[in-house]
Structure 1
C-alpha cells in the first residue's frame, strides 16, 4: 500500500517533474528528451548532459545524437495508447493529468487526442458503408461494420452503428415477418438488438473483445439464449392452425390418454401447477398425447416450452 501511495520515480515521471521547473525541457517531446538529458539510476532523476554540442539560446544545454525509444502500445489498450499518442505530440507535459487543451480538462486521454485532431475522423467510414449498402446484404454490412470497429478503431463507432442500424437489420425483420406470418411487423429495438448480438459475435471471433470494449454499447444478451429463442418462437405460432390440430386430434385420444389430457388441462385452467410423470411403454402414444397438450396451450396464446432433461423427455 505504501508503494502504491508513493511509487518510485521513473524516467517518465522524472520528465514530468523536470518540465515543471526547466524552461528548456518544456520545449521537448518525451521522445526528444534523451538527446539532452541522461537518467541517473541511483538518484532516479534526469540530469542535463555535460558533453555534446551547444544548443543556441540555451548555454547550459548540450545536445547529442542519442535516440529516444518508446515501447509500442496496441490500440486495444486504449488509454495507454492515447497517453502514448499525447507524449509523442505534446511538448513539455507536467503530469499524467496533462489532458488540458485550450483551457479545457478532458476526462480521458482519447478525448484530449480528439480535441488536438490527433485522430482521424469517421468521414471515410461514412463513405464506405453507404457504398456497401448499395449492393451488399445486411449480413455483409454487419460483417463490414464488425471489421471496421475491431481493426480500424473509428472515432465514434456508436454513431456508425446507429446511423446504419436499419440497413444491418433488414434480413432479421424479414425472417420474423415470414416466421410469424405477419408482414405488418415494423423495425424495432429488439430487432436492432439482434443485429448487435450478431456483430458482437463477429468482433469476438476476430479480436476477442466484446462491443463494450470497442466503444460500443453492450447488446442485451440474456443469460440463456436458447431458452429465449424458444420463448420467441412461442409468439410466432399460427393459432388458427393450432386450433384445427386440437379439434382434429383430441377426439382421437383413447380413454387413458383423454384422462391424462383432462387432468393436465384442468391443472392449467385452475392455475394449480404441479409436477406430473407419465409412464407408459414405447409406442403407446405418449408423444402424440403431449403434442396435443402443447398445441392446446399454444392455441390459447399461452407459453408451453418442450425441453429434455438428463435424457428423459420432459414437457413443461
Structure 2
C-alpha cells in the first residue's frame, strides 16, 4: 500500500499536502488498476495500525506517517527541513515527536548522589527493559560515569592495589559488562537494543556465562568452614539424608528425593548443609522455592518461576521459556544439585 500511495502522490499534485492517514478522505483505491484515484463521492476515514514502542523503527515510521505530508519515498519521510536523516527515529527527534530522556538522565544523576554504582546500573537496566528510554545510547553517554562509579574501587580491592587506575574506555567496558550480566539474568541482552554499545569481545569471552559465574561467586574456603560447622551438629537421621543425596551427587547417579517433615524438624538445616557441601567443592547448587519468602531461607535462592521460566498460569500444554543453548540452559546443565 505504501508504493501505491507514493505512486498516487506522484500523479496528483494536490496530494502534496495530505498526510497518509488522511489519504482515503480524498482518494479511493481502484483494485482493478491497482491505483489510487481522486474520490468523487462518499467519505472515508483512514487509520494506521497501532505499533508498540518496542518495535523500534516501525514505531517511529508510524509517528512520521501521522505528521509528514506528500511523501513519495521513504527518504521523503525521513526528510526534515531538507535534511535526510539516516533513521526514522532521528527524524522524529528533530521534529520534537520524542522526549529527550532528560527526566531519566536527571533521575540517574540524582540517584548517584546517594546510591552506589551497582544500584544505578540496575536502575538503568529497569529503564531499558521497560522501553522507557527513547534514546538509550544518549542516556548511556550522559551517565556512564555514574554507572561506573564503583568499578575502579572494586578493581583496586580485587588486586589489592589502591593506586590502580582504569582508563575511561575500560570503565565503560566493565560497566557495560555488568549491565549485560543483569540483562541476561532477566532473559534480555544489550544486543536487543541496536543503538546501545556492547562490551568488547575479549571481555565478553573472558566472562563466559554470567549466570554460571554468579553461582560460582562464593568463597570455597568459607563454605568448607560452614560445612564443618553444620556437620558438627547434624543428627543421625539428618546425616542419613545428607549421605544419601551426596552419594548420588558424587557418583552422578541422579535421582529425585522428597524431604518431608513437620516445622522445626530441620529441613532448612539439611538444605543449607547440602548447599555448603556442593559449594565447598567448587560446584553449582541451584536453590529454588515456590515463593519469595521461602527462597530467602536458602543461599542464592530464587523462585521456581524465575529460575525455570515457568508461566504464571499453568495448564496441560505449559512449557518453560528456557531455550536451547541459552545461558539459563547452560546453568541447569552445569548444576550438580537442584533443591
| TM-score of the pair, normalised by structure 2 | 0.54
Q: For 1:204 and 1:37, locate their aligned partners in 2 and report how far apart those are by CA, in whole Å.
A: 50
Closer, same or farther: CA 205–87 of 1 in aligned 2, 3 Å: farther
The residue number in structure 1 matching 2:122 is 143
Q: Does 1:208 align with 2:198?
A: no
Q: Does 1:92 align with 2:70?
A: yes
| Contact 1:212 1:218 (8 Å CA) reproduced | no
Q: How do 1:101-180 and structure 2 match up within 5 A?
A: 101-152=80-131, 154-180=133-159
Larger radius of gyration between Structure 1 and Structure 2: 1
Give the superposed CA RMSD: 2.8
Unmatched 5+ stretches in structure 2: 214-339
Q: Which piece of structure 1 moves more, 210-219 or 83-92?
A: 210-219
The residue number in structure 1 matching 2:207 is 225
The match for 1:194 among 174, 195, 202 is 174
Deviation at 1:214, TM superposition (A): 4.1
The residue number in structure 2 matching 1:59 is none
Q: For 1:27 and 1:205, locate their aligned partners in 2 and report how far apart those are by CA, in whole Å.
A: 50
| TM-score of the pair, normalised by structure 1 | 0.58
Deviations 1:246-297 (A, max 9, x none): xxxxxxxxxxxxxxxxxxxxxxxxxxxxxxxxxxxxxxxxxxxxxxxxxxxx
The match for 1:18 among 8, 26, 33 is 8
Q: How do 1:285-304 and structure 2 match up within 5 A?
A: none
Query: What is the DSSP-based 3-state SS (H/G/I as helix, E as strand, rest coil) of the residue aligned with 1:46?
Result: strand
Deviation at 1:128, TM superposition (A): 1.1
The residue number in structure 2 matching 1:259 is none
Deviation at 1:206, TM superposition (A): 4.9
Deviation at 1:31, TM superposition (A): 0.9
Deviation at 1:155, TM superposition (A): 4.4
Q: Which piece of structure 1 moves more, 122-131 or 158-167?
A: 158-167
Q: How do 1:20-39 and structure 2 match up within 5 A?
A: 20-39=10-29
